[in-house]
Structure 1
Amino acid sequence: MRKLEELLGRSFDNADDVLAMRLALVFLTESPFEEFLVGSPFSRLADS
């Protein structure tokens, strides 16, 4: 979760950062936390 917070605070110039963000979003949207993400910025990112 800290890595996700770090990534949200900076640009995505690095391909590794983009990959880490996508993996984090997949984990969050496939986890029990999904119900807390509805309507949040994370849900919009996961849909892209």
Structure 2
Amino acid sequence: MRPIGPASCAGVGEWSAWLPVAPRGTPRAAREVRARHRRKRVGSQTAP
């Protein structure tokens, strides 16, 4: 299984943050994770 997105440090960070959230699947947790990633990627990737 490959991480979603670029296979770089960002990919590893995504998996580490998603691992505890995946089994639960709570919408609130997913929203928080998305917000976290968005903040991190604003500098490196295209801003929203």
Compute the TM-score of the two structures, normalised by the length of structure 1.
0.42
Q: Highest relative contact order (Cα 8 Å, sep 6+), 1 or 2?
A: 1
